[in-house]
Amino acid sequence: MNNAFLEIEQLINNSLAELNISSTDYLIERPFDSANGDYACNVAMKLFPSAKSIASSPKELAEKISNIIKKSISKNISKVEVAGPGFINFYLSNDFFVKNMFDVRDLNGFKLSDKKISLEHTQINPNKEPHIGHLRNACIGDSLSKILSFVGNDVTVQYYQNDVGQQIASIVLAYNKQFIPFKDVSLENCKAVLEWASRAYVDIEKRMESSTELKSEKEEIQRRIVAQNSEDSKIAISITDAILKATLVLFGHLSIEYDLVVKESDIIKNKLWEATFDLLKASPAFYKSTKGGRVGCWLVKMPMSDDKVIVRSNGIPTYTGNDIAYHLWKFGVIKDFKYEVLDWGTQDSLLYATDSDNGETLNNVFNSAESIVNIIDTTQTYPQEGVKEALRVLGYSKYADNYHHVNYGFVFLKDANSESSVVKMSGRKGTVVTISTFIETLRDSLLNQFGSFSAIDEVVFGAIKFELLKYDTYQDITFDISSALDQKGFSGPYVQYTYARAQSVMSKGDIGTSSDYGGAESYSFGLNEFELEILKLLFRFEDIIFRSANESAPHYICKYLFDLSKSFNAFYNSCKIIGSEQEEFRLDLTLSTSIVLSRCMKLIGISSPDSLK
């Protein structure tokens, strides 16, 4: 928490003590409109009912509190006033904002919390090329992992690989039938495997719509894959590993990295469900139905809805059952996997994968989470809530309280020639815009506008990530390429352009990245509106990061980047920097702005190129 907040809190508490009022039941908040102060407090309205002996109204009580506060304020606070029905508004001084300009450079991480967090994102079935909807998932997850780490947490990022599901049986069937010929399945040929699988999956799904024979073959293949003791299971492993590698290569190019790949086949081998089943049977809320349409099913009693089936009558666990097992593993309730290093060269950092056959023990590195964050689309909101509530009913309330689902809406692509949008992404129907195609489309658009330049990939990736992150996660979005590449709008390129401009100014001013011309005390002149606006935005940096972390909302950082960029460009266009009487201060202001821009861009996963030429 910043020093200004702590000082205001102490001033309020001291005034309450002087008035013989003992309470901490009040809020100190940042007003939406800065005309209402830099901080506002509702203490008088909160405490008035118990303080009627010393004031006839909340506003009178606020006046008494503020009069005491005014006697003790430091030079950090320029004004204290009462507003409305009894708010106390605090206005920070210019001296404070200038001092903060230096302090903000050292804020390379906070201590908001120190939990061990397991964050899972992407979760693409390894049978087709990733599309732009998957990319939104990955961008949200990657950004949140950075934000949560920045505020003090120990975050491990997991990628769940469904390598034994129905979709895998379909792609193995397609391989066996060779309707679309392809035999060269290998890690070295992973890109070709991915491209073939995308076409073959759509083809085999269409064929099965009119062929009961193919459907029966698929069901038999599915049984053999789950049993993991057949030629089909070996083919499934070869195909899914090759597709996984190609997918990780793609995300590696986008600087999206993971710590662990969890394979569903290893969940089966490790008997997570069997261990979970034994735990559940010890709970009085878990029972086997003996009547009605659910005879033979195992259910969990749900207090606010129908009891939920966890095990079907054929003994196979439902999605909820499997997910309970998986998340009890994440929390360390069930025995751990063994692991191998996945040395595929897809990312710079170390990547592990579960390996129940030949792996090594890592002593609960990945399965001792205190909190879980899952990035899963809005269609999975109900199942996710079901898992969470089932955990609570079964006696795992602590884990349910620390189980967080971050949902996100669908991505559509705006048609440049009309107002319509593409249909919802569907790999089965083949109605997708793949990430690779999408990246090439944006790159071609930039080439057509500006020709080739050294930072073109950084701008393309920055445009994509910023556009996918600048909205509330729960919203469906229509991706507009022209908007995403707008160098004067609410976009990644605009922010990158602003950072490059700041770097150019510092280069001309011949300062590095740690300049300090003597600190705030050396700047005694008045501040103009452009300088003060930047200083106030720099002060909001900490609040924006805290809010983004607390609400799992990267879009706050995107909006902050845009506001800070707009303010800096207005300052740049209106105020002479190099050669002015205030050159030292304005260079320092430019340096602080560039540091905060770079730090925030890093938190949403986009780079900060020194030049866009």
Between CA 531 and CA 539, with CA 534 as vertex, the angle to 5 degrees is 125
Say how far residue 168 (Cα) sits from the centre of its chain: 28
- Give the pLDDT mean for 518-542: 81
Only one residue has tokens 């390129």, namely 493
- The terminus-to-terminus CA distance of the chain in angstroms comes to 40
Assigned token pair, 370: 């205190």
| Mean pLDDT across 225-250 | 93
| CA distances, 40 to each of 14, 80, 112, 452, 543 (Å) | 17, 10, 22, 50, 14
d(CA 322, CA 268): 10
Query: From CA 446, how far away is CA 456, in angstroms rounded?
Result: 8
pLDDT digits (tens, 9 = 90+) for 156-185: 999 999 898 889 999 999 999 999 999 999
Partnered with residue 129 across adjacent β-strands are none
- pLDDT tens digits for range 588-601: 999 999 999 999 99
CA 448/CA 182 separation, integer angstroms: 36
Q: Which pLDDT band holds residue 107 (cuts at 50, 70, 90)?
A: confident
Q: Indicate whether 319 pLDDT > 90.
A: no
Extract the tokens encoding 235. 């083919």
Instruction: State whether residue 489 is helix, strand or coil.
Output: coil
The pLDDT-based confidence of 517 (bands split at 50, 70, 90) is very low
Q: What is the mean pLDDT of residues 29-43?
A: 89
Query: Which pairing describes strands 154-161 and 116-120: parallel, antiparallel, or unpaired?
Result: parallel
More confident site: 256 or 31: 256
pLDDT at 332 over 80: yes
Pairing between β-strand 371-375 and β-strand 339-341 as defined by DSSP bridges: unpaired
DSSP conformation letters of 355-366: -TTT-B--SSSS
Q: In this predicted structure, what is the pLDDT of residue 227?
A: 84
Structure tokens at 526: 């008045």
Among 90-99, 145-154, 206-215, 221-230, where is mean pLDDT lowest? Answer: 221-230
Which range, 156-160, 218-222, 303-307, is most confident?
156-160
Which residues on adjacent β-strands are paired with residue 320?
Answer: none
Q: Which of 42, 35, 33, 47 lies closest to 8, judged by CA? A: 42
Residue 115 has pLDDT above 70, yes or no: yes
Question: Per residue in 544-582, pLDDT tens?
Answer: 999 999 999 999 999 999 999 999 999 999 999 999 989
What DSSP assignment string belongs to 265-310? HHHHHTTHHHHHHHHHTTSTTEEE--SGGGTT-EEE--TTSSPEEE
What does the pLDDT read at residue 422? 52
**342-351, 406-415, 473-482: least confidently modelled range:** 406-415
Mean pLDDT over residues 364-378, rounded?
93
Instruction: State residue 128's pLDDT score.
Output: 85
Torsion-angle region of 82 (φ positive above 0: left; ψ -120 to 50: alpha; else: beta) = beta
Q: Which residues contact residue 117 at a Cβ distance below 8 angstroms, ignoring those fewer than 6 apart?
A: 148, 153, 154, 155, 156, 369, 370, 371, 372, 373
**Over residues 487-501, mean pLDDT:** 95
Mean pLDDT score, 257-284: 92
> Quick one: DSSP state of residue 431?
B
Q: What is the mean pLDDT of residues 493-520?
A: 78
Q: Output phi, psi for 501, to 5 deg.
A: -65, -45
Distance from C-alpha of 602 to C-alpha of 599, rounded to nearest angstrom: 5
Q: What is the pLDDT of residue 525?
A: 65
Provide mean pLDDT across the span 33-40.
88
- Give the whole-number percent of the chain exceeding pLDDT 90: 68
Q: 416: pLDDT confidence band, cut at 50, 70 and 90? A: low
Q: Which of 155, 154, 151 is nearest to 111 (CA)?
A: 151
